[in-house]
Amino acid sequence: MTERDDLIRETAETDLFASFEGDLPASGRRSSPVRLLRRYLPAVIAFLAVILIWEGLTRLLGVESFVLSKPSEILTSFTETFGTIWGAGLRTLYEATAGFVIGTTLAIATSLAAARWVGFREGMLPIAIALNATPIAALAPIFNSWFGLTNPFSKMAVVAVVVYFPVMINTTRGLLEVDPAELELMRSIAATPAEVTRRIRIPRALPYFFSSIKVASVLSLIAAIISEYFGGPQDVLGQYIVNRAQLFQFPDAWAAILVASILGVTFYLLILVAERRLMPWHVAFRSSD
């Protein structure tokens, strides 16, 4: 149990946003404003410093906008094109989240089947691991021809496939990596396999599931935007960025990228909050000792 806890703690520590997770309010504990400030101040200062250096150097060295736009130009473009880029952003977000939900749902169903039937698992997991290592976004042109270039489902399908494999593989692993003593305990009280799944395997798999959907939330936006690059309606982030870049309107392209970044971080943080709500008992969130 402690070995497993260490492993989970390690995973949490190497996690992309682990530094932010530390101070999300856990149940029963509120972070004081002073603590919050101390926590985030270094990040805010670093962020502002990077922006200032970026602005200063591009001005000082006279860097052209098509090489690297100045933060001030990007901000101007962000406010001027606000309605357009957020409209495009929300349409892209719709593709990303719909694909995310489809992929995650299928992944959960497959994982439960894989945990239940050894034959299914042994036949399918190696293939899934091989497919997971394949750059699946390359499927986008094929899905465009299958489902139609203008059908948002062709983008959702790419997202769903990209999301599916990491979620399925990690959730299956979580369902299977159960303390043998817990299985013996359940056997001693004559619990059925379904009860073992419900009371032991699913709670044990939750940390793995959440780790994987945190990664998948980020992947879903990447997959949506990349599949948009391959063509389709013009009022989405991917096409907007391509078009503005072709017209040398680079600050506009950067502003759209900023929208994508805000959407990605928001999506990720929402999952983080859900994770805390559902797993207050998780080792990484325990507030005392």
How far apart, in whole angstroms, are the C-alpha atoms of residue 75 and residue 111? 44
194 binds another protein (CB under 8 A): no
288 binds another protein (CB under 8 A): yes
Name every residue whose Cβ is closer than 8 Å to that of residue 244 and which is 6 or more positions away in sequence: 250, 252, 253, 256
The b-or-e profile of 72-108 (16+ CB within 10 A means b, else e) is ebbbebbeebeeebbbbbebbbebbbbbbebbbebbb
> In the set 34, 61, 118, 181, which binds another protein (CB under 8 A)?
181
CB closer to another protein, 145 vs 288: 288
CB closer to another protein, 33 vs 180: 180
Q: How far is the CB of 215 from another protein (least distance, A)?
A: 23
CB closer to another protein, 127 vs 190: 190
> In the set 141, 203, 231, 233, which binds another protein (CB under 8 A)?
203
User: Would you call 65 exposed, middle or buried from its count of C-beta atoms within 10 A (0-12, 13-18, 19+)?
Assistant: middle
> In the set 96, 140, 200, 219, which binds another protein (CB under 8 A)?
200
Q: How far is the CB of 94 from another protein (least distance, A)?
A: 34
CA dihedral (274, 278, 280, 285) positive or negative: negative
> In the set 24, 75, 124, 191, which binds another protein (CB under 8 A)?
191
CB closer to another protein, 125 vs 183: 183
Name every residue whose Cβ is closer than 8 Å to that of residue 93 and which is 6 or more positions away in sequence: 221, 224, 263, 267
CB closer to another protein, 60 vs 194: 194
> In the set 6, 80, 122, 195, which binds another protein (CB under 8 A)?
195
How far apart, in whole angstroms, are the C-alpha atoms of residue 285 and residue 21? 9
107 binds another protein (CB under 8 A): no
Q: Structure tokens of 20?
A: 């932010």
User: Do the Cβ atoms of 260 and 223 come closer than 8 Å?
Assistant: no
Q: Structure tokens of 193?
A: 């396999």
Q: Which parts of this chain interact with another protein (CB under 8 A)?
A: 1, 179, 181-182, 184-191, 195, 199-200, 203, 279, 281-283, 286, 288-289
